[in-house]
Amino acid sequence: MTEFDAGRHILPRPDTRSPLATAMDVHDQDTAFTPIGPVPPPQNAPNVVIVLFDDLGFGTSSSFGGPCHMPTAERLADNGLRYTRFHVTALCSPTRQSLLTGRNHHSVGMGGTTEMTTAAPGYNGFRPRSAATMAQILQGNGYSTAAFGKWHQTPPREISAVGPFDRWPTGEGFDTFYGFMGAEMNHWYPLLYHGTTPIEPDRRPEDGYHLSEDLVDHAIDWVRTQRTLTPDRPFFTYLALGAAHAPLHVGREWREKYRGRFDHGWDHQRELTLQRQKHLGVVPTDAQLAPWAEGVPHWDELTDNQRRLAARFMETFAGFTEHADVQVGRFTDALEELGELDNTLFLYILGDNGASGEGGIEGTIVEHRLGHGLVDDPDEMIEHIDEIGGPHSYPIAPAGWALAMNTPYQWTKQVASHFGGTRDGMILHWPRGIPDRGGIRHQFSHVIDVLPTILDCVGIPAPYSVDGVPQQPIEGTSMRQTLTDPNAPERHRTQYFEMCGNRGIYHEGWMAVTRHGIPWEMVPTQGRRFADDIWELYDLDNDWSQAHDLAAQHPEKVRQLQDLFLIEAAKYQVFPLDDRVTERENPAMAGRIDLLGDRTSVTYRGGMRRFTEETTLNIKNRSHSITADIDVPETAAEGVLIAQGGRFGGWSLYVTDGKPAYVYNYFGLSLYTVSGGDPLPPGRHEVRIEFDYDGGGLGKGGTAVLMVDGEKHATGRIEHTIPYYFSFDETLNVGVDLGTPVTDDYPAIDNEFTGTVHSVHIDLDVETTQPPEFDGGLHRRVMGAQ
């Protein structure tokens, strides 16, 4: 092995030995020294761009026959290749971890999302150092690297000012990062990071701000700067948009483009989409619609209000999707303007899983209600129909539309057993490397194939060692042969699937699957054991869409594939199977390490900000107290002392009209406010809230007592509390309420306390024990009910 080859196989490249000094005076040095520079990239190496959409579904984009107009996807597909049998993992974090490592998601510890991690090896959320990322490999081979948008791969307890930062984007091979760290983000009021530094946009929706536009602005600025400063280095840009994951946030003008376009309903939409897919050639002419999911009503079974709401949800989803694709178009135009588009290996992945059915039967204007088993009443929700998509909503569409967006397949996100959860369109655009413009490729492929394909196209070997750690094998296979040969043999012949207990196994044209749970129920099927699950069998060579179950006709084939699943699952750390969803989002229930451990109290200082739920004390389902040590100015005091969460769930201790107050926001359904008494006089004061939890289960009520300087100020009743999580995108902040406001008693911006917050102390009642179970069932809840 030459020294240069070692620099490709061992990353970072080992230091080269410099000549020894032969003189005391540089003028007498007779051996020249070689300047130290970056590792040169392979000659003529292309740039690499990966654009990843969220929660899209195979039948969503117009480039694959769907109803959502995506002109950029169409443009790239018409000048590149459409991959029709490209598969992902059925959830966000696992797909992203697999994409960037080339390994199966359980092999790299991501059997669920980062919020669902446990202590089990395949589910702990920690990428092993033996599985270097695409960014680390390209960076080590001379590439400039940058990530923009959604990350969702860092353990939540590490998302704080103290890190550690080795599992943040800039610790995993990216030179720069601008985006958000968790599962989703409010597109009107985002809380972002630049590198590892928390930031908030300096504009608001009333100023024309939108997150998708902001992310692409930063991506364009970075590429332009990179080409100006280092035009001899290729770049890798990873642009992972939050669209079209909930919340569905988009300007009214984009939603209005689709007004009335979905009034025909989801059943007819599936038929229209299938016709277009056959016309495009992305499914065979004999492909059939897979069976409709059990429990989801057909369009003609809905009430008038349900149909009006469902149509508006879908109009919003479509506008959100098109708007995001148009932003990708701006980025594509920037590459073309720079003269880089033709030599950029551009992968446009239309979904990290299938479209989401987590909106349930009705859909909701506040997503987190459904995660806790609360269902909005359509006859009440209709009063808020014009808010859907705007800053006062946090919506997700009904499951019926998810099924339609996954046409022609069955089921949705989370359901790894069926293609509705795992098959998404993928576009590969590389004019200098693809002779077949507008071609279609039908070879079976998986997201773990992306890394080896890129390395193959770029001319970089998979490293043996990265940062001194021997590397585990890359488990994907290169698709490069398909770029030039539409009839290239299928190299990816076996692939297991598993998510939330739903599982399947593909092998040489056959697929055996078993669905264990229903995504919109968010809880395991009570009393159902994995051994009792019923397996289905599909002959994919003759049944493109898993429309005909052949298990009864071929029981021996089912047994053969079941055995193969056991072999593959054992090999890749899938066991033990875990069907919990919402429960795993509570660290105590999941069994993972809690950052604060056994601590029962914490003191925050004035100005501390951006504490996620896993980096703060968990006050849910127990008695606790919150004590603020403040100085009141001579003028009337106003503003927030401490707040956690926001408009769609959380609590706040604040001062309004000079008077202290406490509010508990129950999913935006109920605001329980405790306030009263005289305004606070100037000077130092202690404002304290004591919450006495009722007990007897999760999510129960309690009594809040507001005290000032040791004296009772006011008492109020909180009838319901949030059992699992307040929010995925909001944080705890001292002296201010960032993001959306918990209450409209203070403005969304400029709500900082006008005095001084010296400290805020939170104490847990150590005698309160958290009950082990929550019934988790879906309950009809009238919006605004007290």
Amino acid letter, residue 638: E
- Give the pLDDT of residue 526: 59
- Give the pLDDT of residue 527: 65
Distance CA 74, CA 53 (A): 15
* Beta strands across the sheet bearing 465-466: 10-11, 465-466, 469-470
Alpha helix locations (H) across 338-374?
A: 367-371
3-class state of residue 457 by DSSP: helix
- Give the pLDDT of residue 19: 82
Distance CA 464, CA 173 (A): 17
- Give the pLDDT of residue 372: 87
Token pair, residue 781, equals: 């809840």
* β-strand partners of 372: none
Distance CA 578, CA 94 (A): 15
**pLDDT digits over 126-156, tens only?**
999 999 999 999 999 999 999 999 999 999 9
Q: Which segments in the chain show pLDDT lower than 50?
A: 1-5, 768-786
Q: Of 747, 742, 746, which Cα lies nearest the Cα of 648?
A: 742
Amino acid letter, residue 495: Q
- pTM for the predicted model, two decimal places: 0.95
Q: Is 195 left (phi over 0), alpha (psi -120 to 50) or beta?
A: left
3-class state of residue 146 by DSSP: strand
In what helix (H) or strand (E) does residue 96 lie, and over which residues does it extend?
helix 92-101
Token pair, residue 72, equals: 């950029």
Mind listing the domains of the chain with CATH numbers? 48-298+315-355+409-485 (3.40.720.10), 502-585 (3.30.1120.10), 594-781 (2.60.120.560)
